[in-house]
Structures are given as C-alpha cells and as structure tokens.
Chain A
Amino acid sequence: MTQLNIPIESTTLPNGLRVVISPDRAAPVATLGVYYNIGFRIEPRGRSGFAHLFEHMMFQGSANAGKMVHIKLINSSGGVLNGSTHYDVTNYYESVPSNALERVLWLEADRMRALKVDDENLRNQRDVVKEEVRVNVLNQPYGGFPWLDLPPIAYRNWSNAHNFYGDFDDLDAATLDDVQNFFKTYYAPSNAVLLILGDVDTDEGIKLAERHFASIPSGPQPSPADIDEPPQIEERRGVVEEKFGTLPGVAIGYQSPRRVTPEWHAAAMLDQALHGGRAGRVYRRLVLEQQIAVDAEGGIHYPVGDLFDYNGPTLMVTRLLHKPEYSVDQTIAAYDQIIAEMKEKGITAEELEPIKVKFRSNYFSMLEGGHGASIPRYGLMHLLACFSLFDDNPKLVNTILGGFMEVTPQAVQSVAQKLLTRHNRSIAIRQPAKKGAA
C-alpha cells in the first residue's frame, strides 16, 4: 500500500497565504501550524542565530495579544504550543481541543499581521536564547555534534556554513530594527502556509482561515537567497574539542541530492541500508560486530532535520562515538570498508525489500506523531508544509512513497558510487580534551 488517501484540501487567499486543511474527526482535537519560508540558513550576515532569536520574539506579543497572551490563551484552552527554526522553514504550532480552533487562528493571524515587541522583550529573549544554547550545546557532552560542527567544514557559502544557533556577539548586536525588518521581509502571508489538521470541517476551516487571514495586507515576496555551493573537489576535515565527553567522535557527511528527484529516492534507500537502526550496515558492523564504535547513527539531513524538510545543500551524515583504544584513522578505515563494499557489490533485492517495508512503516509513524510527541499529526503537518512551500504540492503526502518503493538495487548502487566519494565528503572529529585535576 503506497498510495494513501489522506483527505487534503488546499487553497490560496488573495494575499498569497496558502491554506491546507486535512480533516480527521475521530477525536475532538485539532493541530494547527503556520510555516514561514525562512530558516536559519538565510538569516542576515553578521546576525548568526537571528532566525531562531526571531522565532522567540514571535511569542512576545502582537497587535492585540501582548506578551504572554499567546501562551496563556492556548494553555488555558487546554492546548500546547511551540515553535521551531529549521534550515529552510520556521514553524509555529498548537494542539488544542477543537473548540479552541478559532481562537488559535485569531492568535496566529494577529502575529502575522503585526508584531508588537519592545527592547525589554528583546533583551529578555536574548538572555533566554543564550541559556538555550548553553543547555543544548556549550554545557553538554557532544553538544552540537555534529549539526554545528559539520557546516563550517563542509560549506563555503556563509549561508550554509555559519553558526545557526548564533555567536553570542551577534545575538548581542541584534536590534529591534532588525526584528521589524526581518518580520517585514520574511513574514508576509505570501511567504507562509497555514495548516489545520484533525477535528475540522474542510469548508468551515477555509471559511475561518479567510475570516482571520484574508485582510492581512500582502507584502513583497522576498528575493531568493543565494545558497549555492561551489562544487566540492576534495575531502574536508576539521577537529573540534570535546570539553566534557570521554569518547572520541567522528561525523562523516556526504553532499546529498536535491529533494524529490529520482536520485533522492535512491539515496533514501541507501541511507536506510547504512543507517537503518541496528539492522543497518554501519551499526551492525561497527557497533555489533567489530565493536569499534559504541554508538552509530545517521541519515540524510540528520540530526536536526530529515529527508523531507530541506530545500538546499545538505549532507548524509554518519555520527560515530568510538572506543578510545581505536584511533580516528582506524575508525574511519573500518567505516570506509563498509562504504567500499556498498559501492562495489551494491545491495541485493533480499536486503532492499525489507528496507522498503521499514521505510513505509516509519513514514506512517511520522504522519501520526513525528517529532513532537505531544502534538498529534505533527509529522503530517510538517510534510504538508514542506511539500507546499518547497514543491507547491501538499498532496505529495499521498503519493511520495511510490517513488521510494520503485527504487531498484541498481539505482542504490549507482547513487552510492556517485555520492559516497572522498571528494564529496567532510569529516568532523570531536577530540576529548585532556582532563585536568577535578
């Protein structure tokens, strides 16, 4: 079963806002999202971390809903809310009992229309974001490994290569003018998609979307950002000190194909053959059999994204933590053996078929829950948004599996031979610091 029948209705309002409705009335619960076609990849130069800081500012107040009103109104309606910044999109989402649907639409429309924040809000959220960076990166073992380590090694275009969480100096330099300019440039209705999923009638959902969003003035479409990379012609390596953790880490990233192309479908199967859990070749060989590594994971656009949510250069990443009695070179040599076998011998149909079954199963789970455990249908929302903004076709959700299921063993081997070359890869090494006296 690869052709799905998830009900999806979409329309575009006169101001350019795309609206996607996917009803399922089984439980009296709705999930809503607004996705803007702006991520940390294309934040302004000299303002690293700004897209994420800006996401925080969207919770600080809008024209008719001051600071904390968004949070208070959603929580007190029995719902939860959050936002997140990705490479190429930023999202804001809520799951609520469905009787709060219109209230959520009102809130999202209010902050799409006009952000109302002051210097005090900016100072406050700058502090909060710094603690977020400390708790997730600077004060954690393997913090940012490899999602912050690899880009500056792998890329030459600042957009792809910079510190997405933000250098503290850049965060400090951000001004209220930056905030309002960013809002004007990237938060126009025509640069966004509104999604309503769950307990909603399609016609009623569209009517409510029109009522609340249609009068938001359209704005100019931002000019397309330059995220092109010059072709990579040699292996790139970098070393980052690991301040806390005790094991060396190695992350290997290969430049990956553009989304929704035949090569992308084949690369996804290749990725699963290598990184599909404990049955995947990398984990089986390096952790279970040779016991060089104690952990091995990976994927396309791993670890802060997935196959579906990028729209520009990205990597297929393998992340290893290995035993200290093996050198980095020995570890990479053992990994290279796996890669060489894949390129030389390819994959049999007997190995590929189960990979497709597992891929299909993972896809269903993503639709229902995906990345946000307490947000029903987060994954479906995320896919609908990415297929709307990047491919202009939310209904790809129902048909996209077909392309993966048709991948042949030959296609996997070809894409392996093309992608998995030394000159197409970058390696980030986490070297544990020498421990002083505690």
Chain B
Amino acid sequence: MASAPRSELPAAAPPLTPARPVIWPPRVHKTLSNGLEVVLVESHTIPKFTGELFFRSGNAVAIAKAPGLADMTATVARTGTLKRTSREIEEDLRRMGSDLSSGAGADTSVISFAGLVEFSNGLLGLVSELAQQANFPEDEFERERRQLIEGLRIERTTPGFLASERLRRVLFGAHPYGTISPTEEQVTSYRVEQLKEFYQRYYRPGNALLVMVGDFSPQAMLAQIESAFGSWASGPVEEAPDPALPELPGRRVYLVHLPGSVQTQISVGNRAITRKHPDWLRLTLANSIYGGAFNSRLVMNIREEKGYTYSPHSGAHPLRQHGYFSIGAAVRNDVVAATLTEIFYEIDRMRSTPVGEEELDDARSYLTGVFSLGLATQDGLAGQLATSTLEKLPDDYLETYRERVLKLTSADVLDAAQKYFDSAHAQIVNVGDRAEIESQAAQFGKPEVYDAQGNRI
C-alpha cells in the first residue's frame, strides 16, 4: 500500500484521567428481635434482586458426626416443606422468575436466591419456608444421596479436586478443615434424622445473616422481611470445634496417582491467616504480585515466558478459624520439576528482595480498581457485603479498603512474603500419572504416594 495517512495516535498509552470518586451505597443493617441479622442495599441496575440467607454453621461444626452433613442438609432442605412438595417448589420458583440454590462450605450453610422484584414477597415467603419448615422427605433424601455418591465418584477422577483434597488434608490433618468431602461410605451411612437434627439446631435466626441487594426500597423490603421471618423462633447458637492443628514437618511432597493423566495438576500450599488478621491486606497485596493477577510474576514466568501452563494462579484462602496460601498450575508432564523450581524461585525472590516502586504501584492500583468493579452489579455488591458482614469486619470496611491498600509499602509486602509464603513448610501435591512424574517430584523430597481413592500406596 502507498503512503497511508500518518496516524495521529500517540505512540504511548494515554495517561489516566482524573478518577471519579468511588461511593459505596448506604446499607440498612438491622437485627430483628429474634436475632436475624439483615443487610440491605439498593441497586437499580435491573428489575431484580438477589439474596443470600447464611447460617454461620457449615460442614466443620458437624464433622465428628458425618463429613459433608451440612451440605447434604442444605441440598435436601430445598426438596420439600410442610406446605409444598418438591415439584411445587420448583414450579413456584419458575412462576416467580426465580433461581434458588442451597449448599454448605466448611463454615457456613446458605440458601441463595434471585428473582424479579415484582415477586419479592412470594420468593421471601418460600425462602422463609425452606429455612423453617423443611420436612426432609425420605424419597427425596435417597435420590439426593445417590446423586451425591455418583458425583463423588466423578470428583475422584478430577485432578483439581484430588489436588485440593490432598493439600487440605496435609495442611489441616484431623482438624475439620482437613476434610473437604465425605467418602462414599460416609454418605451411605447418612441418616435423614441427622439432617433434621442439623437443621433444627443450626437453621436459627440468631445464627443467620440475610443479605439482599436489588431494585427495591430498603424500608419497604425490611417490612417484607419482618413479615416473612419475624415469627421465626430463636434458638441457642453453637461454635464450631477448633482442635489443634498438626505440626507441619517441613517441606513434604505428595503424589496422587491418576493413571492415564496427560497433564499434572500441581498444588503447593502452606498455612496462613484469616481475613480478620491484621496482616490480611499485606498478604493480599503480596499474593497479587506473586501470582494473583494476570500481570503477576508467576504468570509471566511459567505461562508467558516458558509456556508450561495455561492458568497458573496463587491465592490466599481465609476460612473462619484458619487460612492458607496456595499456588496451582496444570502443566505438561515433562515440566513438573521445572515448574516447581520456578514456583520456589519466585517465592524466594518475594521473600528476599523488596518489590520496586512501579510494581508496587501497579499492584495497589489493581487491587483497588478491581475492588470497585463490585459496585456495578447486584451480585458483586452482595458478595462484598456478605464477606464483610459474615466475618464481622468493621462497618466501614468497604469505604476504607482502597485507602488502606494504597498505604501499603514495599516493606509490608516483604514482611507478608517472609511470614506467609512459607517455603520451609510448603506442602507439594502433584496429581498425575506416577510413571510420568514420580522421579521429577522426588527431586523435591521423597513423595508419599496415594491412589485416587485417598489410600496410601
């Protein structure tokens, strides 16, 4: 082509223009007389609302009775009430343009729901019924039990699941956090009475938090909530057990043998801290520099330079009583040792050399910017409110987050890396075909080898 007109475009990126202030919407935060804590926020993006009814009791609290019991209770709770059959519940949800799901993690059980605001009263009525009057029909329970067992069998062929299971087991041992899933035998021995007992004990207003965001007026919504949940009888609340954690013996290597794997799922982790810990933001920032963002050191190194993996990542995971830090990457079989070398090289670099000003600035901007993206959707706001309220963080947590991040220094990052990127106690899990990877894993310590069922081999 002849001379195309010379572009007027600058050859360098334009600077950022002045930022508009980030203003978090006002919340209505109220506790009903029966103890139900309620947080409400208006968001008029779409004519819908979204909500989550949390109970501050999850699988951890019932671990001694049966692993996964909270999750099974939540699953079966949506399949029948004193007033509605399973089919009626599903058809009523559809009639109200609504979605509903229920489940439990280690620390909480939750009923999540969303629907058109024109049906908010009806949907709240149904959620209230599920929370108070679930009747656990025997046939629904048996069907869900079989589905859970089939699901577990498939999970045992899923590299990501097997890696998480082994990592949590070695980090937390016999503590409830050491078990992320029940065995088939444990599910087979669930009894419906156990579900009812869990439900009676923990599905109580004094143990609950209701977060709702949407296209409503908070005062009017509060009146609907009072009428749907106000007469719910209170009950005592119980804390989850917190037994001692195992002594970690130093760096250890584990191999979960999944025959025929054409890739290896690597997961490296160590125990860290909860969100309430004063170092939490320091750790968050250090993580985002290490491997928590696309523009992070680990991603640049093992993806963009070396091409070992598609989606490497690291994350700080806060549970209520303890937390952990982990690094994950699914890599081709012949670079398992090379990947581990880079993972530890980057950890050592974080622990030994202060981060420069530019990289620090970039990471602080990333964290503060991404945090404010939550403002723009009902789900985003609901998630942030749920996190800050469930963890009983200060009321101005959202408002002050950005300024607290912006105050962090290079020394804070170095400090967090030295404390919480604990390479001396790193637990190294590799899920893959033993014949392909064992000798590589062994370069980092003698591997303890397990089969996909969790048995030592």
> Are B262 and A134 within 8 A (Cβ)?
yes
Q: Select one of A26, A198, A217, A361 contacting B115, CB under 8 A.
A: A361
> Are A215 and B376 within 8 A (Cβ)?
no
Answer whether A26 and B263 are a contact pair too, CB < 8 Å, given A77-B365, A217-B1: no
Is A182 positioned at the interface, with any CB of B under 8 Å from its CB?
no
> Are A279 and B93 within 8 A (Cβ)?
yes
Residues of A within 8 A of B454 (CB): none
Determine how close the nearest CB of chain A comes to the CB of B26; give it in whole angstroms: 14
**Interface segment out of the listed A225-233, A340-348, A370-378:** A370-378
> Are B46 and A138 within 8 A (Cβ)?
no
Residues of B within 8 A of A215 (CB): 5, 7-9
> Are B157 and A246 within 8 A (Cβ)?
yes
> Are A79 and B154 within 8 A (Cβ)?
no
Residues of A within 8 A of B150 (CB): 246-247, 294, 321, 323
Residues of B within 8 A of A243 (CB): 260
29 pairs, A vs B, C-beta closer than 8 Å: A24-B45, A26-B44, A27-B376, A28-B20, A28-B21, A69-B13, A71-B295, A76-B362, A77-B16, A79-B370, A79-B373, A98-B19, A103-B14, A103-B15, A113-B9, A124-B306, A131-B308, A131-B331, A132-B311, A139-B262, A243-B260, A246-B157, A277-B99, A287-B147, A288-B87, A361-B48, A365-B46, A373-B379, A376-B373
Answer whether A103 and B16 are a contact pair too, CB < 8 Å, given A198-B376, A276-B94: yes
Is B91 positioned at the interface, with any CB of A under 8 Å from its CB?
yes
> Are B21 and A438 within 8 A (Cβ)?
no
Q: Select one of B48, B91, B309, B378 contacting A279, CB under 8 A.
A: B91
Q: Select one of A64, A77, A364 contacting B12, CB under 8 A.
A: A64
**Interface segment out of the listed A85-93, A326-334, A351-359, A400-408:** A351-359
> Are B8 and A64 within 8 A (Cβ)?
no
Is B409 positioned at the interface, with any CB of A under 8 Å from its CB?
no
Residues of B within 8 A of A8 (CB): none
> Are B19 and A138 within 8 A (Cβ)?
no
Is B4 positioned at the interface, with any CB of A under 8 Å from its CB?
yes
> Are A67 and B7 within 8 A (Cβ)?
no
- When chains A and B are docked, how far (Å) is the Cα of A52 from the Cα of B4? 30
Binding site for B on A (CB under 8 A): 1, 24, 26-29, 64-65, 67-69, 71-81, 95-103, 106-107, 109-110, 113, 123-132, 134-135, 138-142, 198-199, 211-212, 215, 217, 243-247, 276-279, 284, 287-288, 291, 294-295, 321, 323, 354-355, 357-358, 360-362, 364-365, 367-369, 373-374, 376-377, 436, 438
Q: Select one of B154, B332, B361, B369 contacting A96, CB under 8 A.
A: B369
- Within B272-292, the residues touching A (CB, 8 Å) are none
Is B300 positioned at the interface, with any CB of A under 8 Å from its CB?
yes
> Are B330 and A131 within 8 A (Cβ)?
yes
Number of interface residues of B (CB under 8 A): 90
- When chains A and B are docked, how far (Å) is the Cα of A51 from the Cα of B55? 46
> Are B310 and A135 within 8 A (Cβ)?
yes
Q: Which residue of A lies closest to B22 (CB)?
A: A28
- When chains A and B are docked, how far (Å) is the Cα of A127 from the Cα of B331? 10
Q: Which residue of B lies closest to A107 (CB)?
A: B13
Binding site for A on B (CB under 8 A): 1, 4-5, 7-22, 44-48, 86-87, 90-91, 93-99, 114-116, 143, 146-147, 150-151, 153-154, 157-159, 257-263, 293-295, 300, 303-311, 330-332, 361-363, 365-370, 372-373, 375-380, 451-452
> Are A131 and B96 within 8 A (Cβ)?
no
Q: Select one of B94, B331, B375, B380 contacting A357, CB under 8 A.
A: B94
Q: Select one of B7, B259, B293, B308 contacting A127, CB under 8 A.
A: B308
> Are B294 and A81 within 8 A (Cβ)?
yes
> Are A354 and B94 within 8 A (Cβ)?
yes
> Are A357 and B97 within 8 A (Cβ)?
yes
> Are B91 and A354 within 8 A (Cβ)?
yes
Answer whether A123 and B307 are a contact pair too, CB < 8 Å, given A113-B7, A358-B94: yes
> Are A103 and B369 within 8 A (Cβ)?
no
> Are A288 and B95 within 8 A (Cβ)?
no
Determine how close the nearest CB of chain B comes to the CB of A121; give it in whole angstroms: 9
Residues of B within 8 A of A374 (CB): 370, 373, 380
Residues of B within 8 A of A100 (CB): 16, 369
Residues of A within 8 A of B362 (CB): 72, 75-76
Residues of A within 8 A of B307 (CB): 123-128, 131
> Are A438 and B309 within 8 A (Cβ)?
no
Residues of B within 8 A of A129 (CB): 310
Residues of A within 8 A of B147 (CB): 287, 294-295
9 smallest CB-CB distances across A and B, nearest first, come from: A78-B369, A127-B307, A361-B97, A376-B376, A76-B362, A28-B20, A75-B295, A244-B157, A132-B310
- When chains A and B are docked, how far (Å) is the Cα of A211 from the Cα of B9? 8
> Are B154 and A141 within 8 A (Cβ)?
yes
> Are B19 and A357 within 8 A (Cβ)?
no
- When chains A and B are docked, how far (Å) is the Cα of A383 from the Cα of B185? 47
Determine how close the nearest CB of chain A comes to the CB of B365; give it in whole angstroms: 5
Given contact pairs A26-B376, A95-B373, a sample of 4 additional A-B residue pairs in the complex whose CB atoms are under 8 Å apart: A80-B373, A139-B261, A295-B147, A365-B48
- When chains A and B are docked, how far (Å) is the Cα of A102 from the Cα of B7? 16
- When chains A and B are docked, how far (Å) is the Cα of A369 from the Cα of B97? 17
- When chains A and B are docked, how far (Å) is the Cα of A64 from the Cα of B157? 46
- When chains A and B are docked, how far (Å) is the Cα of A426 from the Cα of B154? 26
Determine how close the nearest CB of chain A comes to the CB of B220; give it in whole angstroms: 19
Q: Which residue of A lies closest to B332 (CB)?
A: A131
> Are A1 and B47 within 8 A (Cβ)?
yes
Most buried by A among B116, B258, B368: B116
> Are B95 and A364 within 8 A (Cβ)?
no
Residues of A within 8 A of B158 (CB): 140-141, 244
> Are B48 and A97 within 8 A (Cβ)?
no
> Are A277 and B10 within 8 A (Cβ)?
no
Determine how close the nearest CB of chain B comes to the CB of A103; give it in whole angstroms: 5
Residues of B within 8 A of A247 (CB): 150, 153-154
